[in-house]
Amino acid sequence: MVPDSVEATSVSTTSALIHTGLLSVGLSNLFWKGGELNADDNPETLLLVAMALFCIAIPFQGLYILLSRMIREYPNPVLVPSSVLLLASRCEIVSYACGITGFCLMLVRTSNVLAATLIGSAILVIIMARSALSVPAR
């Protein structure tokens, strides 16, 4: 979905800061856990998948941050090319999906209680979002 010209400025500082935070979490986990990995120890698959997701997310987060900066520098949101907005939107989706999923997998491997809490809250959020979207507009 490509934002219209009014929404072009919604690629805001706040969104870029969120991506910067996700970038920091991904990089710190990669450096922290990656430094401990040893092929001889046969690291657990869940950890490797989480770290692979961080590796996927990092370039998309970086590109999104650069694009959002570029979009904010346009004097008029109408002048922002739709291809740039589309690319920013796709980068945002991939970086959120991979970064947050990687973080969740790191959390899941920590504790069964945390995993159950995370899955329960995710189901609750999905139910709430579906019910809000199914209510007809007035």
pLDDT in tens, 17-57: 776 777 777 777 777 777 777 776 777 888 888 889 989 98
* The pLDDT of residue 8: 44
pTM (2 d.p.): 0.68
Per-residue confidence at 60, pLDDT binned at 50, 70, 90? Answer: very high
pLDDT in tens, 68-78: 888 888 777 67
Domain ranges within the chain, ordered by starting residue: 5-110
- The angle, 0 to 180 degrees and rounded to 10, between the axes of the packed helices 82-108 and 13-34 is 40
Of all residues in the chain, the percent with pLDDT exceeding 70 is 85
Contacts of 87 (CB under 8 A, 6+ apart): 63, 67
Element (H, E) at 13: helix 13-34
